């Protein structure tokens, strides 16, 4: 019994003194430490935090309509661009189908026409029988006996008139856009300098071309130049000559457009 009693006394003391004595002093109204200095500072901090929270909330509320508008605008732009891309892809696909249909519908006659037009435009090199005309100035070097642009133009026009199928002058193919000129005393074709004696190749039947050239005005002009100024002109048929293709910039159309076949037929019938 004596051992149990001290334990009970200890429990009673703990129960009676559960709170510190200072607690009762504070509760009685006596100040516990100096709180006068910290209380205003805490109030200021709380006020500042409250103001910051209020400003942030107001700013967020004000920014929200702009952000929503930007998102809606961006979404609309994306949708519009997708529509434009889809439309362009559809147009490209339609064009590919049209090209495929045209390619599939092109018959042998169309291919032949294209090849013929390419040849006539000077887009391909040609080879065959020809008349070769060789021209040079007079041996004495007199000014009147120099080979001129007019001499070359006269021969070229005479060869076309005689029925030449293709002509090259000094290795330069002639087309509707070719230029024969003189720069700094040098003869040029397609703005490229050519050497003297000048070699002119006219594809076609050589003998026939020679006969027709000598009998037309160009032939008579050459004969007169040879007699009066001493220029030399030689003509010889050839069984195998070649004329090169024309410069690429001379074989395409920049402003003219070909008429449809139906328009050509109607014009021919009229």
Q: What is the DSSP string of 155-168?
A: HHHHHHHHT-SEEE
Q: Is the dihedral of CA 112, 117, 123, 126 positive or negative?
A: positive
Q: Which secondary structure element, helix H or strand E, spans residue 118, and what is its range?
A: helix 108-120
**Is 109 part of a structural domain of the chain?**
no
Low-confidence ranges of the chain (pLDDT < 50): 1, 3-4, 26, 30, 32, 112-114
- Residue 240 and residue 147 share a domain: yes
Q: Which domain holds residue 5?
A: 1-68
Q: pLDDT tens digit string along 14-28?
A: 556 555 555 555 455
Shared-domain flag, residues 127 and 61: no
Give pLDDT, residue 108.
55
Residues 126 and 239 in one domain: yes
Q: Are residues 143 and 209 in the same domain?
A: yes
Would you say residue 86 lies in a domain?
no
Domain-located, residue 93: no
pLDDT of residue 19: 53
Query: Do the domain assignments include residue 85?
Result: no
Residue 46 lies in a domain: yes
Q: How many domains does the chain have?
A: 2
Which pLDDT belongs to residue 80?
A: 84
Do 10 and 126 sit in the same domain of this protein? no
**Domain assignment of residue 231, yes or no:** yes
Domain boundary among 23, 40, 68: 68
Name the nearest CA neighbour of 198 among 207, 187, 183, 206. Answer: 187
**What pTM did the predictor assign?**
0.53
Per the structure block, which two tokens stand in for 98?
Answer: 């049209």
pLDDT of residue 195: 92
- Domain CATH code at residue 157: 3.30.70.1880
Are 128 and 55 contained in the same domain? no
How high is the pLDDT of residue 159?
96
Q: What is the pLDDT of residues 196-206, one digit of tens each?
A: 999 999 999 99
**Does residue 241 share a domain with residue 126?**
yes
- Rounded-to-integer distance, Cα 241 and Cα 65, Å: 83
- Asked if residue 178 belongs to a domain, the reply is yes
pLDDT for 245: 86
Final residue before a domain boundary, out of 25, 53, 68: 68
Structural domain contains residue 252: no
């Amino acid at each position: 019994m004596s051992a149990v009693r001290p334990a009970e006394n200890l429990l009673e003391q703990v129960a009676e003194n559960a709170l510190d004595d200072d607690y009762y002093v504070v509760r009685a109204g006596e100040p516990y430490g100096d709180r006068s200095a910290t209380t205003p500072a805490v109030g200021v901090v709380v006020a500042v935090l409250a103001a910051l929270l209020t400003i942030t909330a107001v700013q967020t509320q004000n920014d929200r309509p702009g952000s929503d508008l930007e998102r809606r605008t961006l979404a609309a732009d994306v949708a519009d661009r997708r529509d434009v891309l889809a439309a362009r892809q559809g147009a490209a696909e339609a064009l590919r189908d049209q090209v495929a249909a045209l390619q599939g519908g092109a018959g042998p006659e169309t291919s032949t026409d294209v090849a013929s037009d390419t040849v006539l435009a000077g887009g391909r090199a040609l080879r065959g029988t020809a008349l070769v005309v060789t021209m040079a100035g007079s041996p004495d070097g007199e000014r009147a006996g120099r080979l001129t642009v007019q001499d070359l133009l006269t021969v070229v026009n005479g060869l076309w008139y005689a029925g030449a199928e293709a002509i090259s002058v000094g290795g330069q193919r002639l087309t509707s856009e070719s230029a024969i000129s003189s720069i700094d005393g040098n003869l040029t074709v397609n703005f490229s300098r050519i050497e003297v004696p000048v070699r002119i190749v006219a594809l076609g039947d050589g003998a026939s071309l020679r006969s027709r050239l000598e009998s037309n005005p160009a032939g008579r002009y050459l004969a007169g130049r040879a007699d009066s100024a001493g220029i030399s002109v030689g003509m010889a048929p050839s069984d195998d000559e070649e004329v090169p293709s024309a410069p690429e910039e001379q074989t395409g159309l920049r402003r003219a457009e070909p008429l449809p076949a139906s328009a050509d037929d109607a014009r021919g019938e009229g």
